[in-house]
Amino acid sequence: MFGKLFWIIAAYITNVHSFYEKMQCANCSKINRDCDVTTTGWSCEFEIDALKLDPHVNSSKLPPFLQTCLPAGMGFVKERPILGYCCFWSPEMGCQKLKRKGADIENNVRCHMCSRAIWSSLMENKTCPCGNWFVDEDNKATNHRISNLIVLSTLICTLLLL
């Protein structure tokens, strides 16, 4: 009897807020300093994360530490944290990044993956309309060949030095 009561109390204590605690906002102030966002959008690193979010869900349950990086109205369909990162942008909030704590190759204070940069121009994910593409979006096939050549060259040089 005591065992069941313990698990009921534990389940009650581990409430909705516990899944929020597994996520955090990245600091996008450097990107937003030089950017004027005129469009609204969002994208996630993983499709499964995008399915957890809905721009038409009641977001009143969001804790204050996540309200800074999620647009008004954006909420979670299921009470599950994201696995990677998601980028959000709007004229009101600029570029923002929501990430799972510790799941991102970037450190916690950067927002680079959500801005236009060399690797984001090579990826399929949409990004905030901030920053400058290092390479043309129209030439993605060429850019993939160039990046593959760079990786191959690095591998060959590493093998030669061994």
Q: What is the pLDDT of residues 81-98, one digit of tens each?
A: 999 889 998 888 889 999
User: Taking 60 as the threshold, does the pLDDT of residue 65 lie above it?
Assistant: yes
Angle among Cα 9, 14, 15 to the nearest 5 degrees reads 105
Q: What is the pLDDT of residues 113-133, one digit of tens each?
A: 787 665 555 555 677 887 665
What's the distance, CA 15 to chain centroid?
A: 24
CB 84 within 8 A of CB 99: yes
Measured distance CA(105)–CA(116) in Å, rounded? 17
Give the pair of three-digit tokens for residue 157. 């040089």
Helices (H), the chain: 2-13, 16-20, 29-33, 47-50, 64-67, 118-122, 140-161
